[in-house]
Amino acid sequence: MSLKDIAIIGAGGLGKEIAVLIHQINQKELTWNVIGFYDDAVPSGTKVAGHLVLGKVSDLGKVDYNLNVVVGIGDPVVKSKMVTAITNPKISFPILIHPTAGVGLGIDLGAGTIITAGCQLTIDIKTGSHVLINLNSTIGHDVTVGSCVCIMPGVHLSGFVTIEDQVLIGTGASVLQNLRIGSGARVGAGAIVTREVERDSTVKGVPAKQ
């Protein structure tokens, strides 16, 4: 079987963790050939997680062969701007799922969605494109997640929750059932969300307050 070429945008901490995710997918089933990183801040030729930085993100515009790209950027707004700027039709954004993640029934994931180790998604869950669901997070039944949402490690979303586009949910936060988190909102690490969260607002604490 021929391997599929894949590049990682972002050579920082999250990008390195995505290199580990791909490595662990390959250990289970050899699928990907990591060609390297693209990063605007790290010089080309730098070695990161055993792979070279190949250039700046804008260099992806010149790629003239089919290339899979995964985005290792944890800020939803930065991530959204970056993916919107990539218009080269040769670039595809695959869905990556760690072999230990539990993906249940009726799960509809958008392009570029990343599900890392230990996450559990139960039933009737829909995500937009470029969603990150990070380590050991649980997503309950009938949850809808918008595009470029970043769910940090150990987050719990209860049933019928709706997360709009470009939301950040910090490490260890929980969202109670039936709630909506407005687009661009940030939920602080460790927060327990018990009420709707307005768009572009920041909430934190237990119970979460603006």
Q: Cβ closer to ligand COA: 24 or 202?
A: 202
- Specify which residues 32 forms β-bridges with: 4
Question: Least Å distance between CB 87 and ligand COA?
Answer: 29
Q: Cβ closer to ligand COA: 53 or 193?
A: 193
Question: Least Å distance between CB 61 and ligand COA?
Answer: 29
Q: Cβ closer to ligand COA: 55 or 72?
A: 72
Contact present, 163 and 179 (Cβ < 8 Å): no
Q: Cβ closer to ligand COA: 51 or 186?
A: 186
Which residues have a Cβ under 8 Å from the Cβ of 74 and sit 6 or more positions away? 14, 132, 150, 152, 168
Query: Structure tokens of 181?
Result: 């988190």
The residue ranges that bind ligand COA (CB under 6 A) are 152-153, 170-171, 186, 188-190, 202, 204-205
Question: Least Å distance between CB 204 and ligand COA?
Answer: 4
Omega before 99 cis (within 30°)? no
Name which of 95, 88, 86, 65 is nearest 5 in CA terms.
65
